[in-house]
């Protein structure tokens, strides 16, 4: 890089933060040639003596749909917090592809880099319309000075339309998001992840509180994402998990208890013990 460019880079108005405290970005390209897209290795997190995660090891393949189950307090949400940068672990490493160290990145950088997250409780911008919700989430330059005078390109509009069809909200795009039904809010949130074109989607309890029909629709939506995105679903609803997953991971007390197909996992005596008790 020649000095002039470097200077220009340094003085980019949105880079003031980086000037004082450099935050690494996704400078290296994503490398998944060995298969997994997400490496979670030996991760431990403890809150005040309570071990939420205990030497957790988890590998997610590129394009895979993985379901994660486990009783309450097994560390499912904490695991998501660690991957998305909300919680920094006490030890262990988390890599995105083979070269990108997620532990050094902040939440927004991880989100920009291609890891989207849906929360347990649907969190959407209730005051904005469905379309504006998606517009905000759309992948583009998200720096302050850029957004001050930015309009959507035709390409981005197309992508939003595409996602609207995918989540089945085309007819509602002008509606205020707060007025949507519970299920629609969940889909809108998934849609907001999709317009970011993420490589990995973390979906926390997508069907909680949904009607049977809505659950079915959600299952279709998630399975249709397989291949194009890696999807990690945390869910309690066993029927739902069975309907979408080919590979299931069981978490217990902060580490992996069992892994495999739904049938394999369900016949594992340790899993039965954890779920049913002695």
Partner 1 sequence: MLTQRLLLSDRGGMLVLGLVVLMAIIVPICNLAVPGDSPLHVSNFTVGLLGKFLCFALLALSVDLIWGYAGILSLGHGAFFTLGGYGMGMYLMRQIGDRGVYGHPELMDFMVVLNWQELPWYWQGFDMFWFAMLMVLLVPGLLALAFGWLAFRSRVTGVYFAIITQALTYALMLAFFRNEMGFGGNNGLNDFKEILGFDLAAQATRVGLFIASAIALVLGYLACRYIVTSRAGRVIVSIRDAESRTRFCGYQVESYKLWLFVFSAMLAAVAGALYVPQVGIINPGEFAPLNSIEMVVWVATGGRGTLFGAIVGAFSVNYAKTFFTTYSPETWLFILGGLFVLVTLLLPKGIVGLFDRFRRKGEK
Partner 2 sequence: MNPLCRITPRHTLPAVLLWLTCLLPLHANAQTTDSAPEETPSTAAAEAQQPTFEQLVQQLAGGSLRDRAATVNQLSSQSDERLADVFNALVAGDLLANKDKPPVIAIRDGERLTDALSGADLTGTQRLRRIPVNNSLRTQLRGQVAQLNLNHPNTDKRYAAVERFIRDGVDDETAALLRAHQQVEDSGRVQDAITTALAVYQLQSDDRAIRLAAIDELSGSLEQEARNALRGIAENDADAELRSAAAEAIESIQSRISFYRFVENLFFGLSLGSVLLLAAIGLAITFGVMGVINMAHGELIMIGAYTTWGVQVLFPDLIEWSLLIAVPAAFLITALVGIAIERGVIRFLYGRPLETLLATFGLSLVLQQAVRTLFSPLNRSVSSPEWISGTLSINPVLSITYTRLYILIFGLMVFFALMLVMKRTTLGLKVRAVSQNRAMARAVGVRSSWVDALTFGLGSGVAGVAGVALSQLTNVGPNLGQAYIIDSFMVVVFGGVGNLWGTLVSAMSLGLINNFLEPYAGAMLAKVLVLIMLILFIQKKPKGLFPQKGRAAAD
The contact set with partner 1 (CB under 8 A) reads 14, 16-17, 20, 84, 106-109, 111-112, 116-117, 119, 123-128, 132, 135-137, 139, 142-144, 147-151, 192, 196
Q: Residues 61-90: x/- map of binding to partner 2 (CB under 8 A)?
A: --------------------------x---
- 31, interface contact from partner 1, partner 2, none, CB < 5-8 Å by kind: none
**Which among 3-11, 46-54, 219-227, 268-276 is the span making contact with partner 2, rule CB under 8 A?**
46-54
Residue 47's binding partner among partner 1, partner 2, none (Cβ under 5 to 8 angstroms by kind) is partner 2
CA distance 89 to 109: 17
The binder of 28, among partner 1, partner 2, none, by C-beta within 5 to 8 A per type, is none
Q: How far is the CB of 191 from partner 1 (least distance, A)?
A: 12
Q: How far is CA 72 from CA 49, 76, 229, 253, in A?
A: 18, 8, 27, 9
CA separation for the pair 261, 141 (Å, rounded): 40
Q: In angstroms, rounded to a whole number, what is the distance separating the alpha carbons of residues 41 and 60? A: 11
Rounded to a whole number of angstroms, the minimum distance from the CB of residue 43 to partner 1 is 20
Strands 255-260 and 247-252: antiparallel
Instruction: Round to whole Å and give the CA distance between 184 and 175.
Output: 11
Rule CB under 8 A: is residue 50 a binding residue for partner 2? yes
Least separation, in Å, of the C-beta of 106 and partner 1? Answer: 8
Query: Quick one: which segment of 43-51, 129-137, 191-199, 238-246 binds partner 2 (CB under 8 A)?
Result: 43-51
204 binds, among partner 1, partner 2, none (CB under 5 to 8 A by kind): none
Q: Which is nearer to partner 1, 31 or 126 (CB)?
A: 126
| Distance, CA of 218 to CA of 167 (rounded, Å) | 9
Q: Which does 119 bind (CB under 5 to 8 A by kind): partner 2, partner 1, none?
A: partner 1
Q: Which of 204, 177, 182 is nearest to 70 (CA)?
A: 204
With CB under 8 A as the contact rule, the residue among 48, 155, 213, 278 that binds partner 2 is: 48
Report yes or no: 87 and 46 within 8 Å, Cβ to Cβ.
no
What secondary structure does DSSP assign to 168-216, as a single string? T-GGGTTSBGGGS-HHHHHHHHHHHHHTT--SEEEEE-TTTT--HHHHH
* CB nearer partner 1, residue 79 or residue 250: 79
CA distance 44 to 92: 6
- CB distance 191 to 169 below 8 Å: yes
- CB 54, min distance to partner 1, A: 26
- The whole-angstrom separation of Cα 6 and Cα 242 is 52
Q: Which residues bind partner 2 (CB under 8 A)?
A: 47-48, 50, 52, 87
């Amino acid at each position: 890089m020649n000095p002039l460019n470097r200077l220009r880079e340094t003085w980019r108005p949105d880079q003031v933060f980086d000037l004082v405290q450099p935050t690494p970005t996704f400078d290296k390209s994503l490398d998944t040639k060995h298969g997994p897209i997400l490496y979670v290795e030996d991760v431990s997190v403890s809150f005040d003596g309570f071990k939420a995660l205990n030497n957790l090891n988890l590998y997610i393949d590129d394009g895979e749909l993985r379901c994660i189950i486990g009783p309450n307090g097994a560390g499912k949400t904490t695991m998501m917090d660690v991957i998305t940068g909300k919680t920094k672990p006490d030890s262990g490493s988390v890599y995105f592809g083979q070269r990108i160290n997620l532990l050094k990145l902040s939440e927004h950088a991880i989100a920009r880099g291609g890891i989207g997250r849906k929360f347990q409780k649907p969190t959407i911008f209730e005051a904005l319309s469905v379309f504006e919700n998606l517009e905000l989430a759309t992948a583009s330059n998200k720096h302050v000075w850029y957004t001050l005078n930015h309009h959507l390109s035709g390409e981005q509009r197309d992508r939003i339309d595409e996602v609207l069809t995918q989540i089945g909200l085309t007819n509602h795009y002008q509606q205020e998001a707060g007025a949507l039904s519970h299920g629609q809010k969940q889909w809108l949130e998934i849609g907001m992840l999709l317009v970011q074109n993420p490589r990995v989607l973390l979906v926390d309890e997508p069907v909680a509180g949904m009607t049977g029909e809505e659950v079915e629709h959600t299952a279709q939506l998630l399975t249709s994402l397989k291949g194009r995105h890696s999807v990690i679903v945390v869910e309690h609803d066993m029927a739902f998990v069975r309907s979408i997953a080919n590979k299931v991971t069981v978490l217990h007390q902060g580490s992996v208890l069992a892994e495999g197909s739904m049938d394999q996992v369900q016949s594992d005596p340790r899993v039965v013990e954890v779920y049913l008790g002695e």
